């Protein structure tokens, strides 16, 4: 059986789980406790020498980096989540990269400084918060405009680009990032959070954070 190593608090890990859930692929989910340093344990470093999550083991085939894992799973299932036609795939890659580099990364930096830095008793980088919020103010309108024209990022077909963006936006309430003015993003996101592929992971990201904080 496919094994997925990850954490409920890791958006890249959740992206992989969303993908596997949507594709109907059975898997064993192995939680890695980052606070306890399990990602740096020798047994995990044999799986991913970079000591990062997510990672997967598919019958002895080891792969890490969330984007690579999601593409592998979609290709294995011959799913239109990652289309075979090269121009369609290029558009998916465009929005997948945009969602990762211009949205997800900025959200994660705000989240880290507003939530996880305090949990780890580390200094909060206010400058990073300010810069990344400005970054999001610049790029949220691009996404909102696209979703105003199409049901999904690349058109009327649901793809890995949407899964990537959804996972990247998952922590925004916890990070106190307001997207209420981006009506198309809100509508798109609320609809997807009701789907089985999402609810099989959790009701919402904040639920996972509360569980982690109570340990």
Helix (H, G, I), strand (E, B) or coil at 126: helix
| Reported confidence tier of residue 58, pLDDT bands at 50, 70, 90 | very high
The pLDDT, as a whole number, for residue 205 is 82
Residues 6 or more apart whose CB falls under 8 angstroms from that of 177 comprise 107, 110, 133, 136
CB 18 within 8 A of CB 166: yes
CB 64 within 8 A of CB 50: yes
100: pLDDT strictly greater than 80: yes
Positive/negative CA dihedral, 77, 159, 202, 130:
positive
- Distance, in Å, from the CA atom of 44 to the CA atom of 109, rounded to the nearest integer, reads 25
The mean predicted confidence, pLDDT, of the chain is 94
In this structure, the chain runs to a length of 215
pTM (predicted TM-score): 0.94
Q: Is domain 2-76 classified as CATH 3.30.379.10?
A: no
CATH topology of domain 86-196: Glutathione S-transferase Yfyf (Class Pi); Chain A, domain 2 (1.20.1050)
Percent of the chain residues topping a pLDDT of 90:
88
Percent of the chain residues topping a pLDDT of 70:
96
**Which of these ranges, 29-33, 64-68, 118-122, 150-154, has the smallest mean pLDDT?**
118-122
The pLDDT, as a whole number, for residue 213 is 55
| Reported confidence tier of residue 118, pLDDT bands at 50, 70, 90 | confident
Identified catalytic residue from 7, 10, 11, 66: 10
The pLDDT, as a whole number, for residue 121 is 84
- The tokens describing 7, both together, are 């954490």
Domain ranges across the chain: 2-76, 86-196
Distance set, CA 67 to CA 14, 17, 121, 134 (Å): 11, 12, 31, 25
Q: Is 214 an annotated catalytic residue?
A: no
The pLDDT, as a whole number, for residue 98 is 97
> Would you list the DSSP string of 97-110?
HHIIIIIIHHHHHH
Mean pLDDT, residues 66-83 = 97
């Amino acid at each position: 059986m496919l094994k997925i190593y990850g954490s409920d608090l890791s958006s890249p890990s959740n992206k992989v789980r969303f993908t596997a859930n949507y594709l109907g692929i059975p898997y064993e989910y192995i939680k890695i406790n980052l606070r306890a340093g399990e990602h740096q344990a020798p047994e995990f470093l044999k799986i991913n020498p970079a000591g990062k999550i997510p990672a997967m083991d598919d019958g002895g085939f080891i792969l890490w980096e969330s984007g690579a894992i999601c593409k592998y799973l979609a290709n294995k299932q011959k799913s239109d989540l990652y289309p075979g036609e090269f121009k369609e795939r290029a558009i998916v890659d465009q929005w997948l990269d945009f969602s990762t580099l211009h949205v997800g990364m900025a959200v994660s930096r705000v989240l880290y400084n507003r939530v996880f830095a305090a949990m780890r008793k580390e200094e909060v980088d206010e400058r990073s918060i300010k810069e990344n919020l400005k970054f999001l103010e610049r790029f949220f309108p691009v996404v909102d405009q696209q979703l105003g024209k199409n049901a999904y990022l690349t058109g009327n077909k649901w793809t890995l680009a949407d899964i990537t963006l959804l996972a990247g936006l998952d922590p925004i309430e916890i990070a106190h990032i307001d997207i209420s003015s981006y009506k198309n993003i809100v509508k798109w996101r609320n609809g997807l959070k009701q789907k089985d592929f999402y609810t099989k992971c959790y009701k919402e990201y904040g639920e996972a954070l509360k569980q982690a904080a109570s340990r």
